[in-house]
Amino acid sequence: MSFSDYIVSRSLYIWLFFFLNFLVLLGKSQKADIQVKVGVVLDTNSPLAGLSLRAINMSLSEFYNTHNGFKTRIVLNIRGSKGTVVGAAASALYLINKRKVVAIIGPGTSMQAPFLINLGNQSQVPIVSFSATSPLLDSLRSPYFIRATHDDSAQVHAISAIVESFRWREVVTIYVDNEFGEGILPYLVDAFQEINVRIRHRSAISSHFTDDQIKKELYRLMTMPTRVFIVHMLPDPGSRLFKIAREIGMLNKGYAWIVTNGIVDLMSSMEGSGLEDMHGVLGVKTYFSRSKELAYLEARWRKRFEGEELHNFGYWAYDTATALAISVEEISNVNMSFNTTKNISRGDIGTDLDDLGLALSGPKLLQALSKVSFKGVSGRFQLKNGKVEATTFKIVNMEESGERTVGFWKSKVGLVKRLGENSSSRLRPIIWPGDTTLVPKGWEIPINGKKLRIAVPKKDGFTNFVKVVKDANTNALTVTGFCIDVFDAVMRQMPYAVAYEYVSFETPDGKPDGDYTKMVHKVFLGEFDGAVGDTTILANRSHYVDFALPYSETGVVFVVPVEDKREKGEWVFLKPLTKELWFIIAAAFIYIGIMVWIFEYIADKNFRTQKKIEKFSNVFYFSFSTLFFAHKKPSTSIYTRALIVIWCFVVLILTQSYTATLTSMLTVQELRPTVRHMDDLKKSQVNIGYQRGSFTFEKLKQEGFKESRLKIYNSPEEMRELFLKKSSNGGIDAAFDEVPYVRLFMAKYCKKYTMIEPTFKADGFGFAFPLGSPLVPDISRQILNLTEGENMRAIESKWFVEEKYCQDRNTTDTPIQLNRDSFQALFMIVFGISLLLLFIMLSCRRYREGRGNMNGAPHDNPGDGPDDHMLLFLLMLAFRRYQQRRGNIIVAQPNPPDDGPDGQDNARDTQNRDFNEGGEEASEEGNDETDDIEHHILEVREGGSVRDGDHETNDIGKVSEVPMVQLQRQKSQSGLVHRRSKKLSSKTMPLRKGLPPLRMHLA
């Protein structure tokens, strides 16, 4: 033996020794780990279940490789469900009773879950499912059911957001007829109700349906007007559905299809032609954030399983196994055995459920699962209310080449184009069925469907609105009227063609089949597709149908007769003015007489010497004579003249207004209603008329009118006949009807009737359609276009012709009278001016008397006209200021004339010339009295002398009044009146200090 052979032989023993030591150490480490049994119930023959099992095994392997320090190890016990509910139940029972598993992963479908959930709840074994998504499972209310995924109800708001964004008003739901398909329906209904969308029909497709049965159901859906379909199925029945739908033309232009994640999440499991059949379909897909954990898992998966794609349920299965491994480690110190009480005496009547024990670790494991939180490949794994919540979905558009992302839905935002957006927006452009980008309107009248059956009321009167005539031989209907013309015009303006026909709402013998409420209810029951006519929009009717916008006037009013109330009788001349205004006018005349008395008493000496009876007669005769402008006697006081001018203006307005009002009362026809308010009708207990079949009957009873007092009429002519009879002869004294009918009645009989208060609210006439009808929005828009244009006026002129005299008729509830409000401002003006004149007169008199006391001169007697001179003086000063501002005042130099005779003569001549000019102008403008008046000039100087004829004074700062010209008035027609001329003594009064020397000239 060579040396090398010896070394090799000895090395084998050494390597064997080390290998045996490794096995011993490995066995010891295995004995240190706690083996925890976890059951798995899946359909092992299903590709989906096979992929999920591989994901679970991979998750546990990778988890324990990276967590060597864990004391527990999950040992999977896999049982096949054979794709049936019974198989799943038997497998779960075996795992609990025989294998004593502490938890079960599964089942694979929502149909298998209910029994397993109840079984887990009874044995305290948590049932953890990553694929049972039906919301109906929550109704079992088992705390031991853990949904390691989100349920189907999470996506309903994404679907409703899509429907709302395209303004579709009706949808049809197509679902598989089992727990999976039915579970989403209640949540869809609630979501659509929030956006006012109606589910027109629910189509249940059984998983056992043949292709012919599916085709028959789709053909039935084609006969409906709705073209928006929501599909909630699994891939197998879904692919069959879309294949048949494409064959019969339901994936052509005008259709819209939306599928849930039940199909979209498993598109990879569908056959190759599935994508072609779903071209143009929108889908809601579960969204997973592209994290590094997800990217690494996909890379390892493709490498390990030779390019196989991992889908959503694989992600959830992977995270489910990780969550269980973490939770089991949390309860490693808990007793994981079962408390079994075997029933020995059960005999032949017992079952395996009698031997079902309780898992002692169940409550602790359930608590650990509820608290577990980690970042998994499907996102943050954290349970809330026993399930994982979804906050984001992807919106995809199916194409032949695959799916294309057109947007996202976020729970707190809504639809967005990109995930980074925080405000709602529209989706990206979508390719719809028929390979078009034009958004389907959501409904259309089927080509192979019947026409819309539109009910019209059968009326015996008011045929201007609706008139139905049936041909006796052919039974063909001829429907005319205002409402019919409006509806036809609206339908012609629709952006698409709508086929319809009118159906008379009548009994077989040709009589009306009921009131309008009954006709509307027939639309609700589906006997008619709509109702057109003079149908009033009411709140109680809107519970059964949807109304388009109103197209007529609104309101309900009372109509009563009118009568001519022209004033007649011997005291009619007092009617133009109210009693209050008569008293105010009389008081004003007396007040003016008192003010005239005051002014004349101070200004006229002769007036004071008259007897009292003469004073009264003269003053009040003068005051009341202004009413006829017959005050011939001139007054002495200028204040009286000013007051009388203002008062004559007021009297002129009063007399003209009185004359016009009295003329109107005596000549113009004044029509007034016999009853002014509804309350008067209640008190009088008269008969009230209402139209047959109208809601006004119920309205009258609500207002408290007795039913025995209500009379029916069918036409304007019958209403007229009832008015002529009156209540005393079985007729009516008022009618209660809608404004359009009243307008029609008034067009014929407007001279004799009128409307009174109050006007009750009503929404007018509207077209009725079934609840949620997609026609309503489009028809409402066309009604707006029609009413705003000229076509509506043409239709109204065609059916409602109003007589010309009706447009100018004058109807009033109250007689025309003038009151104090019309003349209040005039009386206040007269009152204010009179007080102002009185104040000025007293101030001037007080000032004159004060100056007379300072100079020692005796008081002038009243009647000498001192106030007139004082007022003239004030006017001259004011005129001087005005002329000075305009630059027309000639200021004389204050140089005194020479002391010689020539200088004095020149100065006197100059004074005389100046005074003549000023005196003549003053006499022309201000002196209308019959007395001869001496004109004086005022010469004002700071210093020097003032001359007045033979008088000369050297007073400084004085005003001298110098007589210049004496005039005598011409004789009047009644005779020459001579008045004694008075010599006026020179009066002086001090000027305000600082008055500049000047000579005042009147230019």
Task: Please give the C-alpha separations between residue 804 and each of 500, 658, 747, in angstroms, as whole numbers.
Answer: 39, 31, 9
Using CA atoms, how far apart are residues 576 and 662, in angstroms rounded to an integer? Answer: 6
Tokens for 805, please give them: 């005299």
Q: SS3 for 848?
A: helix
Which residues 6+ apart lie within 8 Å of 478 measured at CB?
468, 469, 470, 471
CA distance 559 to 723: 10
Report angle CA 427, 432, 438 to the nearest 5 degrees.
Answer: 80
Which ranges constitute the DSSP H helices of 563-631? 579-603, 605-609, 612-625
* Percent of the chain as helix, strand, coil, to the nearest 5: 45, 20, 35
Percent of the chain with pLDDT over 70: 73
Residue 523's pLDDT is what? 93
∠ CA 969-972-974 to the nearest 5 degrees? 145
**Of 84, 107, 108, 83, whose CA–CA distance to 95 is shortest?**
107
Distance CA 536, CA 763 (A): 7
Q: For strand 358-359 and strand 256-259, is the pairing parallel, antiparallel, or unpaired?
A: unpaired
Contact assessment for residue 205 and residue 217, using Cβ atoms and an 8 Å cutoff: yes
- Asked whether 121 and 142 are in contact (CB, 8 A), the reply is yes
Phi, psi of 526 (to 5 degrees): 90, 5
SS3 51: helix
Question: Angle, nearest 10°, between helix axes 866-886 and 901-926?
Answer: 100
Nearest CA to 56 out of 104, 102, 121 is that of: 104
Report CA Rg, the chain: 56
pLDDT score, position 171: 94
- Residue 565 CB coordination number (10 Å): 16
Task: Return the closest-CA partner of residue 431 out of 401, 398, 393.
Answer: 398
Q: What is the pLDDT of residues 47-79, one digit of tens each?
A: 888 899 999 999 999 999 999 889 999 999 999
According to DSSP, the β-strands at 556-564 and 753-760 are: antiparallel
| DSSP-derived pairing of the beta strands 934-940 and 467-470 | unpaired
pTM, full prediction: 0.58
Residue 783 tokens, joined: 């009604």
* pLDDT number for residue 815: 56
What does DSSP say about strands 145-147 and 127-129: parallel, antiparallel, or unpaired? parallel
Q: Residue 326 and residue 63: Cα distance in Å, rounded?
A: 9
Regions in the chain scoring below 50 on pLDDT: 1, 3, 7-8, 28-31, 630, 803-805, 807-808, 857-866, 888-1003
Q: Is 361 exposed, middle or buried (0-12, 13-18, 19+ CB in 10 A)?
A: buried
Query: How is residue 192 written in tokens?
Result: 């659509």
pLDDT at residue 967 in the model: 34
pLDDT the model gives residue 901: 45
Terminal Cα-to-Cα distance of the chain (whole angstroms): 169
Cα dihedral sign for 181, 187, 193, 195? negative
CA distances to 649, 664, 808, 814 from 669, rounded to whole Å, are 31, 8, 12, 13
CA gap 160, 395 in Å, rounded: 12
Sheet holding 387-388, edge to edge: 72-80, 34-42, 103-105, 127-129, 145-147, 387-388, 379-384, 373-376
pLDDT of residue 233: 92
Q: State the sign of the Cα–Cα–Cα–Cα dihedral 772, 778, 779, 781.
A: positive
Beta strands (DSSP E) in 763-846 are 768-770
- Count Cβ atoms within 10 A of the Cβ of residue 347 and give its class: 0-12 exposed, 13-18 middle, 19 or more buried: exposed
Helix and strand counts by DSSP (H, E) for the chain: 30, 36
Residue 43 CA to residue 39 CA, distance in Å, equals 13
Pairing verdict, β 373-376 and 358-359:
unpaired
Q: What is the reported pLDDT for 576?
A: 79
Provide the H-helix boundaries in 927-973: none
